[in-house]
Each structure stands twice: as structure tokens, then as C-alpha cells.
Structure 1
Amino acid sequence: MINKNEDSGKKLVSLIILNYNGIELNIIPACLSSIFALTYPNFEVIFVDNGSHDSSVLYVQEKYAARGLVTLIVNEKNLGYGTANNIGFKHARGDYIALLNNDTEVDQYWLDEMVNTIENNAGCGMVASKTLNFYTRDIIDNVGHLLYPDGLNWARGKMEKDQGQYEIETEVAFPSGCAALYRREIFERAGGFDDDFFLFGDDTDIGLKGRLLGFSCVYSPKALVYHRYSATAQPYSPQKFFFVERNRIWILIKFFPLDTILKSPFHTLTRYFMHFYALLKGEGVGGKFIQEYSGLHLIKVFFSVYCSAAKGVFRMMQKRKKWAQKRTVDSTEIKRWLKQFRVTVRDVTLKV
């Protein structure tokens, strides 16, 4: 894959796109077209197919890879979000690593704005986009991410009408993995994503790793992305519930201070109570889930979450020890993040 313009004087950005059945969903053509309309002069595209059973690989091979426009990597099966992106990173040559979901379209100035933000903010290692709903473009998908005290992450600004309330460049916890920019150093020093996660929570994991290594994350309000939310994975499916809940437990064990972990059951029970309340009223995340699945199904997934999480506790404790040695900040700083970037229980249960 040849850079768009190696002689521009701009640092090379490796743009990794992870795909699963993007042709079947009719999203890959629009995503790639928007990428090759970017005005940033020096980037490479690494397209990682995660075991698609549609014609995604054939389409990308004929239209882009055969012309030297993208590096095409084909996994024989679905390896999950983190592992597949780690494979993409092994082929990346850039000073910066940009991640994009296949169900996004980017504004032509998106990459210019992301690079400007990371280079103009001292200590910044990650940049969050202003991500809007693809179909209703005055509704916010996310403007960076926030954290709940039990390890759950949440999209800042989710489902709010965009009325100019997020037009200031500011620090956020970490970027959404659907459209993010990272310094290469974060991936190299952190060892990439956690291969155990498979799906969901990966952006929390790499975001906290970046922060533990001493980097901040800045939200770039002019870096516009349009996102078809959960086009590949259903937004209120048992699969999503399983991975979101299990992985937030592992996040808690890997990174949070001990006293915060001990207090976390209170926050989790409060969240579950609010979910139950929303479920009874047919509102929020619980209400959406129960529209398609039975209460018994929900209970079965709940127990499978905790069984799977328990099986991985030893591995997470080993990783906790590793990060206790590697991190450059203390527990006081982590608690400050949890306070500064905290999301309310009402937002995580009643917003959809």
C-alpha cells in the first residue's frame, strides 16, 4: 500500500478498518469512498476482514487492494474486535494509528482535525471524534467516552440533539473505538488490545492503558464522523449484553484501585435496580431488550456473564500485576479520572 503523499511533511497515519460482512450490510462502499476523499495528505489504509461470509473481500480486493490503495488482511474466522485490530497494527507503519468501524463515514477534514488536535495538545496520546448519527445527523452518537464506577463505559452526549453544546476542545476519558486516533507508542507499550475481550469494552481497555502510560485524551469537535450505530452487532442483543457486562468486570479487576473495586457492587446493584425499573416501564436499555427477548433469556445471560467473568479472574489478576508495574500514575490519579469522567446511573440505564 502506497501512502497518499509521503512527501507532504505530515506524519503518516495508519488507518485500520475492521470489517465483518460489510457488503451484506451495504456499508463498506460508503466508508471507503469517504476515506479516499480525505484531505489529509499522508495516510495508509489497512483493511482487516474478520471472517466475512459475504463478498466483502472480493469487493475490496478488486476495487482497492488490486490498485495498491489498501493493504487487505483476511482472517479465516471472526477473531473479535481487539485481536483483529492487533493484527492490523502489525502491518501499520504510521506514527499515528487511526481506528474506524466499517459502519462509519468520515468528513473530508476528519483526519486533519484529529492530527491537529493530537499535535497541538501537550501530553495528548488519544483523540476522540465528534460522532453523529448517520441517519439523523443532528443527534449525537458520542463525543468521547465516560466511566461508571463499576467499570462500565458510556458514550458522552449519547442521543442528545446537537445544539452546539460540544463545540469546545476538551479532555475526555478516552475515545470511542468506532473513530479514534492514537499515538503509535500507546499500542507498542501497551501490547495492543486485550485478546480475551473479543467484543465490546476494548476501547475502554486501550484507553485506560494509554492513561496509565501517562497520556491524556482530547475531544476534537471539528473531527466529524457519521455512524450507523451497531450496524454489525445488534444494539440490544443478548450477545452485546454478555460481552459488555463481562468485560466491564474484567476492566474493574485489571485497572481500578482496590477500595473502588470493593465499593463497586453497590454501584452495580444500583444500576441493575434502575435497569429493572426501566424494564418495567418499557424504557431505557432494559425496555429495549425486553421488547425482543424474554425475562428468562435475560436471567440466563446474566448468569453466563458471571460464570465467564469468574473463569477469567485469575488471568485478569495477572494482568493487574503487570500494569501495577508498568503504569506511570498512582491510584489517586485513577480515582480522579473516575470522578472527573463519571457518568450518572440514569444515563447508563435510561438513555438508549
Structure 2
Amino acid sequence: MDFSIASILALDGVTNGAVYALLALATVLVFTVTRVIFIPQGEFVTFGALTLAVLQTGKTPDTVWFLLALAVLVAVMDAVAGVRGGRAPGEVVKGVVKTLVLPVALAVLVPWAAPQQLPLSIQALMTLAIVTPMGGLIYRVAYESLADASVLVLLIVSVGVHIALTGLGLYFFGAEGSRNPSFWDERFNVGALAISGQALIMFAASGALILALYLFFERSLWGKALRATAVNRLGARLMGISATGAGRLAFTLAAFLGVLSGLLIGPTTTIFYESGFLIGLKGFVAAVVAGLASYPLALVGALGVGLLESFASFWASSFKEVIVFASILPVLLWRSLRDPHGEEH
């Protein structure tokens, strides 16, 4: 291996690491706020990439109808809970309308817009609008009633949600994979390196989003509420912060990060309905490096995972996945020895 090959591998590793960083940040966010190890994070990557692929063909993606079905289910659940809780009828109706307005609007708009062959950027925005709200709705359906359960119970629920979403992905998109067009086809030569426009977009989007998340948590009231919930759930409740609202917001942000990751990685590799699991698992490895608690360490871990995967694909391509996932073992051992813990009550 000479310097030029090492440079190419490093660029490829950092490019993939930028995407893994978004998934790692989403994993840390969800776990710190809700204590959920969100295994289905990768499914949002798949749903995002493949929803855009369906829009590219001029057809209406089935994810539109899935979003509408989820919204109707959540609206019914919230209405029943509101009636049983003695809420005023006007508040119940307002909550139902708030839940249904976006899914219903998309169910009307997307079937009209899909055959129009709109620009790729518009289709990407439509994809974000379709898939991102699923995060909060899935939290309401699968996790909200178990918010105070143990981490093990929440992990079992995550496995079930992952299996369900994978099966739905097969039903929605079929077994064939899809590769989306690049958002920018230009190529730039820097010495021995040939940097694609898509790679620059991945760097820029990841960097901008990481900066936006930092400002969100540091400057906005919602971000501070999420931080407070992550630090002390009971204390946040006593201060009037809704743990339910924090959970829905955390899952919605995680879904947004997953969909954006799918849009960024879609032009660089063929995505299948089950591809999200391995992609999300690499983000989880980076999150474990951060102890599922530190956003800066999650970013560092993601870049490390990307570089390790890239160089492993050169030296032992058949075992690159094994090498990446095995790297989590010394981290777990080190953390276990460094931070011994007692039983969870």
C-alpha cells in the first residue's frame, strides 16, 4: 500500500464515517432521553433511500400510506386516552387534527406530485416529509406506554419493531435493491485524490447538521428540555417537562437523521430493504464507543468505524464487517472494567 492508495481509502472512510456519525448521534440521543437502544434506526435509512427511489420512478411510495395508517392509529389511541382522562372534547379534537393534518396532506399531495418527475431536491424534501414523522408515531405506538420499563424490556421491543419494519420494507419495496442518482455529479482532482461532488455534499450536510444539533441543544428551549430529560428524567418531570413530548421529539429527530443518512448514502451504494440493519449497526458501534452518552465521542467513534471499514475492505474485504463489529469487544471490555455498575432497579 502506497500513500496514494492510503489517501483514497482514508477519504472513503471519512466519507462513510460522516454518515455513520449522524446515525451514532441519533442512537445516543434516543438512548439518553428514553433509555431505548433503538435498533430500528437503520430502517429509517432504508425507508429514506428507497422512498426516494420509488419517487424517481414516478410512482407513489407505499410509505405514504404507512404514515397515514400510523397517524390514524395514533389519533385513535390519543382520542381514547383523552376521553378516559377527562379532557375537554375540544382538546381531544385538536390533538386528533394535529396528528392527522400532515399525513392526510401528504396522502393527497404525493400521488399527484410523484408522476410529475419533479427535481431530485424536491423529491428528497418529500421523502423527508414522508418518513421523518414516522419516528414520533412509532414511539407513541410501541414505546410510550413502556416508558418506565427496564432497558431490557425496551430492547426487546426494539427488536420487535426492527423485525416489523424490515418485513414492511420487503412488502413496500420488494427484494430488489435501488441506487439513487447523485445530488452533484462533479468530480474534483486534488493530487492523487478524485473527490466527487456527492462526497462534498455528504461532508457539508453532516457538518451542517452536527452544528445545527449543537445549536439546537445549546440555544433552543426544546433542546434544553431534551438535555434535562437526558440528565434526570424525574427531575425534568418535576420541572414541568413532558417526558412523553421529549420522547416523541427524540424519535422524530432520530428518524430525520436516519432519512437524511439514507438520502446521502443512497447514491454511493445499492440499498436493499434489509440494508439498514448493517448500516445502523455501524452507527451503534460508534455510539458504544461514546458510551451511549457523549456526542463528541460518538462523532470520533463514527469516523474511526468508517476508517476501519475502509482499510479492512482493502486488506480483507471478505471479513470487513466482522472486523468492524469485533472492534466493539475491546471497547465493551474496557468500559466494563472502568465503570463497574450495579443491578438496575
Structure with the larger RCO, 1 or 2 (CA within 8 Å, 6+ apart): 2
More helix by share: 2
TM-score, normalised by the number of residues in structure 1: 0.26
| Structure whose CA Rg is larger | 2
More strand by share: 1
